Copies of this chain bind each other. A is one copy, B any other.
């Protein structure tokens, strides 16, 4: 069963996006050339333009897909049936992995991708904050977080975690959790 007529290959699309992120990580934004994307994705240069309108569109799709994938993972973690701190730890692990994936380039790439990035970035961040707020509320319900804390503000606090250029994550994730555990305890 091959692809239906008129349909572009999902594999090629994925290969192109993966090649793009790989190059971004290795060479940075100025190292991202369409020719190099084509070579790594093992497609012709023109093929990229069958899947994406232009370079900006390619970046936009990359940023959006990865970001939403991250948010879906966060959502899944947040809604797990597990104690608050187990979910918080899982969340931070996802977050750190995501930061490592982008190596600090996320915001810069988003800027390249959007005409006016501000509202778009804000919207994304609101969604993330919504998820974290949900987490904090359920933490309060199960008694792990003291009721007096503003769920939204605490969501902001958690959102602000994870900014680290070089990652010895394991080295301090445990400490981060310990501080948070005491910090939000009733």
Contact = CB atoms under 8 A, between A and B. Distances in A.
A3 interface: no
A175 interface: yes
Contact of A162 (B107, B109, B112, B160): B160
This chain: how many copies in the complex? 4
A99 B175 CA distance: 23
Interface stretch (A11-19, A70-78, A82-90, A177-185): A177-185
A163 B154 CA distance: 14
Interface size grouping (class) on chain A: 35 or more
Contacts of A165: 107, 121-122, 124-125
A66 interface: no
A171 B159 CA distance: 13
A94 interface: no
A176 B99 CA distance: 21
B105 A111 contact: yes
A108 B29 contact: yes
Q: Is the interface of A mostly helix, strand, loop or mixed?
A: helix
A153 interface: yes
A170 B23 CA distance: 37
A24 to B, nearest CB: 9
Contact of A161 (B106, B160, B166, B181): B160
Interface in A78-124: 99, 103-112, 118, 121-122, 124
The 5 tightest CB contacts between A and B, nearest first, are A104-B107, A183-B183, A163-B163, A108-B108, A156-B172
14 contacts: A30-B112, A104-B107, A105-B107, A105-B108, A105-B111, A121-B165, A122-B165, A153-B172, A154-B175, A156-B172, A157-B175, A182-B183, A182-B184, A183-B183
